[in-house]
Structure 1
């Protein structure tokens, strides 16, 4: 645990040195959210509509920042630092856990700021803002853990980081579009769409939590289907943790 804490501190210092990326993770979704829902400035939204619209951007932030764990670990591996860190600590797991905890911490802060700003502007009472914060932050913690576990499987692929980043960037647009359109609820392939789209998985998780907290219906997959997908994500993560290599599969480092 002590070694994991030291890696957490190291990765935190590295992230603090790149403040532009952290600000971008917050500002871009927030600005896009205001642009897409500009009409709310003249007529406030219904509470259910507010949750449905904000869930798209909350899930976007969670997915983008969670997948950074894998891409950063791949970058460390290709530069040879992953192997060096493993030699120093004696195990690869403290490195992975330290990076994951670091990313979840910054993600928690980003979701807190996004939810607080959007909630204070568009919700009608402190109780509604507090409830929204509880839903979004719980979804942040649970969703980020599942997405991190799933995306660790990418470390098993013999793909260069540059190629992987390009594929992720293109896939992100498709995932965002599918999630925003709500196709998981309007087709018979909803289970498959949620499974292959982590952004939609997080959005379904947010709706489940909102339904439990508010006792109000939201469109989402059943708890059984969500539990099945969660089990698959965890299985992928455990497989990746076991077989991931500290030596690059595309470079000799």
Structure 2
């Protein structure tokens, strides 16, 4: 079985759309198409034909291209059963723990509410690839528009349990701003300090900072580290409930 090929397509001001291609079967998925034209252009350049759309959640900068792409390619749209009414053109509804075949690979679905009530993520275990939408960012997490801190912490904990080598394909280039905030929470985290230097260099060259890995996020992302003493000390919350610490980190980021 050949490895999945993953192409990153920058769209809008800071979104990433991902194309996933199985060379064995020529299955081709698009993750969270914010708009259709850049996706069509890249598909034409690669000579791929779209067969699926994977939607992580209903926000327009993730589903805006659904209907034009479905009309052009007659592709199948897969989204969250709990949020089907808000996913344009949805064909297949999936829920927590569901697995489905994509080409020669198997994808597992996680329900990860918090940013929205019906957010899901797509995990390809054999290919070590996680498409997490706006739940987890490089050095960040999504704002809690429709969920609670407890829900979001439970969602992020599902990702923390994945292998460290898992590549994290998040949907936005927010990393440098997230790093600036993270350093206010853990200024003495040397892994974070080193990562910030790498991020600045990448962005100065116009290069993406995404994907990252679960291992890197666990070592540097304050939203995955509320149990760490250094984080708790900064917040004057040593020994307090993990969800309360996470909620305070999120509150501070909202006002950063």
Structure holding more strand per residue: 2
Give the TM-score normalised by structure 1: 0.23
Q: Provide the TM-score with structure 2 as the length reference.
A: 0.22
